[in-house]
């Protein structure tokens, strides 16, 4: 899923400058013996043994002895992680309420000596997740209101969301789609997508298909190739957009086989979800390079999260390294949605505006995303600013520069002809 995922049990610092290896095509999930029969084009699933396999030959800044093969698939796996007993006792109810999952590659990014580690806070359950505010909602961005057929959301005129799977490789604590992500039945057949594919074919106004879920990269390469082929055959489509956390949490998933699966008629855009510079590692650099050299457009979405990335320095580092190290354009900075149990992670809008105001001018425009709010009930995204207009009178404006200076500006346009000197002087009295 584009912005992480966490599911109720009852519901369906930059890398060092070194030379890094190129991933082997043989590491592709559809080349694994575990991938049969699960990886057949009709069953839509990459086995957990493939997704959760520990990396080989990778260096992690915060890897700890004994954690190299740790995988978080079930609540009982939390017992093997170095979490203080007092913290476990406090979060026990949250552990029971929400499923957990994280690949070993992502867990090894955590500094377990720091209870406030920004990666840890995204995957380890916290007691605060059960503190619900009645103003929070199950479907915070209104997916259900705009779903004319199963597994499809048509909120904007020229693009749709397509959800071939509701499973993710990591269940993020800040997930905004809790009510749909499901780990119980990972296999989804292509036949379940036929109503959505027919809808897309029948609506010529649709130009983009955004494949999300869940995380589409939990599917095998063969399954992704078949889905891409079906979309290729719809003539009015122009762009295939893939929203995924796998290049962040399991970068070894990005292989030559995955690239081949997405190669076709459609332009391809991969949208990743990095939230903190600590998520950028040597393997993520290799994964981004593989996708970049394939000719795919690379964008990133970040969620503004209290206590994780809500300060200018952290976000400036993240946005710069996305561009300068990974070659990924920061696309959106999302204000945290009104998902139930996320009050502890949600900042004020004023705090977000202040951060973006601090970054403007001090950070290259290429590195800056748009700060947006997904309006409740499916009304779509709205830009939040910041605004740099201090005042206005007709065609005369006063703007605030990134240094905080007040700068007058007059529009020189045909609608604002130059006034005679005498008239201008009279206006000034």
Q: Is 159 a catalytic residue?
A: yes
DSSP state of 360: B
Per the residue annotation, which of 177, 241, 340, 346 is the catalytic one?
177
Strand 152-156: give its sheet, edge to edge.
Answer: 152-156, 159-162, 208-211, 239-243, 267-272, 297-304, 329-335, 370-375, 380-385
Catalytic residue among 199, 337, 367, 371: 337
CA–CA separation, 177 and 251 (whole Å): 23
Residue that has been written with the tokens 């992690």 in this structure: 60
Q: Which of 120, 167, 168, 173 is catalytic?
A: 168
Catalytic residue from among 73, 265, 329, 381: 381
Catalytic residue status for 381: yes
The answer to whether 366 and 323 are in contact (CB under 8 A) is yes
CB atoms within 10 A of CB 292: 15
Q: Is 175 known to be catalytic?
A: yes
Tokens 């699966």 -> residue: 261
| Stated length of the chain | 429
3-state secondary structure of 167: coil
Q: Which of 45, 175, 336, 367 is catalytic?
A: 175
Cβ distance 137 to 145 under 8 Å?
no
Strands (E), 292-387: 297-304, 329-335, 370-375, 380-385
**Residue 177: active-site member:** yes
Q: Is 155 designated active site?
A: yes
The pair of three-digit structure tokens given for residue 320, joined into one six-digit string: 């710069």
Closest CA to 273 of 311, 246, 310: 246
Active-site choice (106, 139, 143, 172): 172
> In a 10 Å sphere around its CB, with 0-12 CB exposed, 13-18 middle and 19+ buried, how is residue 347 labelled?
middle
Query: Residue 124 and residue 63: Cα distance in Å, rounded?
Result: 17
Q: Is 168 a catalytic residue?
A: yes
Lookup result for tokens 């951060």: 355
Active site residue 156: yes
Q: Which of 101, 120, 159, 167 is catalytic?
A: 159
The residue from 34, 75, 156, 360 that is catalytic is: 156
Which H/E stretch holds residue 319? Answer: helix 312-321
Catalytic residue, from 101, 120, 151, 155: name it: 155
In degrees and rounded to multiples of 5, residue 373 shows phi and psi of: -120, 125
* Catalytic residue numbers, as ranges: 155-156, 159, 168, 172, 175, 177, 337, 374, 381
């Amino acid at each position: 899923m584009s912005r992480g995922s966490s599911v109720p049990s009852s519901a369906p610092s930059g890398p060092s400058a070194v030379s890094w290896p190129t991933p082997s095509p043989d590491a592709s999930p559809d080349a694994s013996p575990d991938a049969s029969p699960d990886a057949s084009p009709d069953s839509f699933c990459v086995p957990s043994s493939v997704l959760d396999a520990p990396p080989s030959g990778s260096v992690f800044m915060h890897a700890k002895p004994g954690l190299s093969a740790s995988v978080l698939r079930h609540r009982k796996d939390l017992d093997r992680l170095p979490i203080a007993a007092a913290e476990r006792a406090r979060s026990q109810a949250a552990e029971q309420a929400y499923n957990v999952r994280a690949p070993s590659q992502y867990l090894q990014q955590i500094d377990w000596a720091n209870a406030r580690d920004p990666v840890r806070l995204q995957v380890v359950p916290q007691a605060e997740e059960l503190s619900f505010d009645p103003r929070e909602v199950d479907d915070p961005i209104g997916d259900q209101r705009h779903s004319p057929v199963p597994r499809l959301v048509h909120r904007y005129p020229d693009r749709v969301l397509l959800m071939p799977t509701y499973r993710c490789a990591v269940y993020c604590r800040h997930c905004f789609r809790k009510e749909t992500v499901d780990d119980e039945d990972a296999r989804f057949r292509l036949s379940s997508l036929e109503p959505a594919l027919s809808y897309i074919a029948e609506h010529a106004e649709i130009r983009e298909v955004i494949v999300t879920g869940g995380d589409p990269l939990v599917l095998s390469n063969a399954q992704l190739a078949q889905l891409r082929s079906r979309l290729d055959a719809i003539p009015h489509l122009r762009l295939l957009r893939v929203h995924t956390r796998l290049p962040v949490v399991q970068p070894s998933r990005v292989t030559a086989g995955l690239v081949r699966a997405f190669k076709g008629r459609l332009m391809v855009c991969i949208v990743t979800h990095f939230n903190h510079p600590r998520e950028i590692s040597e393997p993520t650099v290799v994964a981004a390079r593989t996708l970049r050299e394939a000719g795919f457009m690379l964008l990133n979405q970040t969620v503004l999260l209290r206590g994780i990335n809500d300060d200018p320095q952290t976000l400036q580092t993240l946005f710069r390294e996305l561009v300068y190290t990974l070659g990924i354009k920061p696309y959106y900075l999302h204000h945290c949605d009104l998902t139930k149990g996320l009050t502890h992670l949600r900042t004020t809008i004023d705090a977000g505006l202040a951060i973006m105001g601090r970054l403007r001018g001090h950070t290259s425009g290429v590195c800056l995303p748009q700060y947006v709010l997904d309006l409740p009930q499916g009304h779509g995204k709205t830009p939040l600013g910041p605004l740099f207009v201090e005042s206005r009178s007709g065609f005369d404006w006063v703007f605030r520069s990134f240094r905080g200076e007040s700068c007058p500006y007059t529009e020189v346009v045909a609608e604002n002809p130059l006034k005679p000197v005498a008239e201008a002087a009279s206006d000034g009295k």
